[in-house]
Amino acid sequence: MSAETVRTIIDDLGALLLFTMILILAAGQIYRAIYAVAAQSLLIAIAAAVLATATGNTDLWVIAGITLTVKTIVLPWVLHRVVRRMNVRREVEPVIPVAATLALAVMVVVMSFHLSATLGPVNQAITGNALPVGIALTLLGVLVMATGKTALNQMVGLFASENGIFFTAMAVTQGMPLIIEIGVILDVILAVLVMAIMVLRVRSTVDADIAGLDRLKG
Amino acid sequence: MMTGERSLGLLLFEMTFLVLLGPLVTGIIQKIKARIQCRQGAGVLQPYRDLAKLFRKGTVQADTASGLFRLIPVLVLAATVAAGALIPVVRAGPPSFPLGDALLLLGLLALARFLTAVGALDAGGAFGGMGASREMTLAPLVEPVLMMVVFSTAVAAGTTELGALAAQRGTSWVLAWHAADFLGFAAMLVLLPAETGRIPVDNPDTHLELTMLHEGMLLEHSGPGLGCMLLASHTRQIVTLGLVSALFFPIGPANGADAAGLLLGVGAFAAKILVLASYLALVESSYAKLRLFRVPQFLGIGFVCALTALALRIL
* Per-residue pLDDT at B100: 83
Test A99 with B307 for CB contact under 8 angstroms: no
> B 227-266 residues with CB below 8 A of A?
none
- DSSP for B200-269? TT--TT---TTT-SHHHHHTT--HHHHHHHHHHHHHHHHHHHHHHHHHH-----S-TTSHHHHHHHHHHH
Interface contact A12-B179, CB threshold 8 A: yes
Asked if B142 and B109 touch (Cβ cutoff 8 Å), the reply is: no
* Pairwise CB contact (< 8 Å): A106 & B307: yes
Residues 6+ apart with CB under 8 A from B170: B1, B176, B250
pLDDT at B275: 94
Q: What mean pLDDT comes out for the span A47-68?
A: 87
Q: Return the biggest CA–CA distance within chain B.
A: 59
> Which of A14, A102, A132 shows the shortest C-beta gap to B303?
A102
CB B179 within 8 A of CB B315: no
For the ranges A16-25, A187-196, B17-26, B155-164, which has the lowest average pLDDT? A187-196
Three-class secondary structure assignment of A51-111? HHHHHCCHHHHHHHHHHHHHHHHHHHHHHHHHHHHHCCCCECCCCCCHHHHHHHHHHHHHH
Residues from chain B contacting residue A117 (CB–CB below 8 Å): 315
What does the pLDDT look like over B115-158, one tens digit per residue?
999 999 998 888 888 889 989 999 999 999 999 999 998 888 88
Instruction: Look at residue B2 and tell me whether its pLDDT is greater than 50.
Output: no
Task: Band the pLDDT of A217: cuts 50, 70, 90.
Answer: low
Which residues, listed in sequence order, are joined to residue A91 by a DSSP beta bridge? A29
Report the run of H or E that residue A142 belongs to, with start and end: helix A130-147
Q: Which residue stretches of B57-204 are H helix?
A: 68-84, 102-122, 126-157, 162-169, 173-176, 179-195
What mean pLDDT do residues B11-34 have? 93
Number of CB pairs, chain A paired with chain B, less than 8 A apart: 67
Of A15, A28, A99, Cβ closest to residue B312: A15
- Name which of B138, B177, B185, B301 to mutate to probe chain A: the one with the most chain A Cβ atoms within 10 A of its Cβ: B301
Instruction: Please give the pLDDT value at position A8.
Output: 84
Q: Which chain B residues are closer than 8 Å to A110 by Cβ?
A: 307, 311, 315
Å between B180 CA and nearest CA of chain A: 7
**B293 chain-A contacts, CB cut-off 8 A:** none
> Which residue type sits at B33?
K
Q: Which of A12, A26, A113 sits opposite B311 (nearest CB)?
A: A113
Distance from CA of B243 to the nearest CA of A (A): 22
Which residues of A are less than 8 Å from B288 in CB distance? none
Query: A120 phi and psi, to 5 degrees?
Result: 65, -110
Is there a contact between B82 and B258 (Cβ–Cβ < 8 Å)? no
Among B208-212, B275-279, B283-287, which stretch is predicted with the lowest mean pLDDT? B208-212
pLDDT of B98? 82
Q: Which residues of A touch B (CB under 8 A)?
A: 8, 11-12, 14-16, 18-19, 22-23, 25-26, 28, 98-99, 102, 105-106, 109-110, 113-114, 117, 128-129, 132
Q: Across the interface, do B303 and A19 touch by the CB < 8 Å criterion?
A: no
Binned at pLDDT 50, 70 and 90, residue B1 comes out as very low
Domain range list for chain B:
8-314
Contact partners, residue A42, CB within 8 Å, separation at least 6: A68, A72
Nearest Cα of chain B lies from the Cα of A19 at a distance, in angstroms, of: 7
Percent of chain A's residues with pLDDT above 90: 23
CB atoms within 10 A of CB B41: 16
B residues 160-189 closer than 8 Å to A (CB): 177-183, 186
Asked if B177's CB is within 8 angstroms of A22's CB, the reply is no
Read off the pLDDT of residues B301-310 as tens digits, 9 standing for 90 and up.
999 999 999 9
3-class secondary structure, B188: helix
Count of residues in chain B: 315
Residue A28, pLDDT above cutoff 90: no
Average of per-residue pLDDT across A171-195:
78
Chain B residues lying within 8 Å of A128, measured CB to CB: 179
